[in-house]
Amino acid sequence: MANRKTIMSRDFCIILAQCASQKEADAIRSALLKGRLAACVNILKGVDSRFWWNGKVDRAKEVLLMAKSRRTNFNRIAKEIKRLHSYDVPEIIAIPIIAGSGDYLGWIRKNTKA
């Protein structure tokens, strides 16, 4: 029977990374999934970014990568992103999943390495 309960948890997170191109995002997504570091990686195209860089406000069209994983995988995920990323200072941040459906969180656990 499916677990329809909402579970409070500190075991999972969403890792965000802005990428310079679809090709770069695809390479990172493939590496994270192949290594079982993430259970799911979404790519959102057309992000219009504004940010401080080298003392001035800059802009870029970027692709947002969102990886769902275990918190214990963050350092390995960050290492893979840095290895494949073109930016000097890539965005690599984790947002904790504080609660979620038991089915979904169980699916993340089942499909990622511990």
User: Each residue of 57-72: pLDDT tens digit?
Assistant: 999 999 999 999 999 9
pLDDT of residue 16: 98
- pLDDT > 70 in the chain, percent: 96
Under the banding of pLDDT at 50, 70 and 90, the label for residue 2 is low
Q: Are 91 and 16 in contact (CB under 8 A)?
A: yes
pTM given for the model: 0.91
Does position 1 have pLDDT exceeding 70, yes or no?
Answer: no
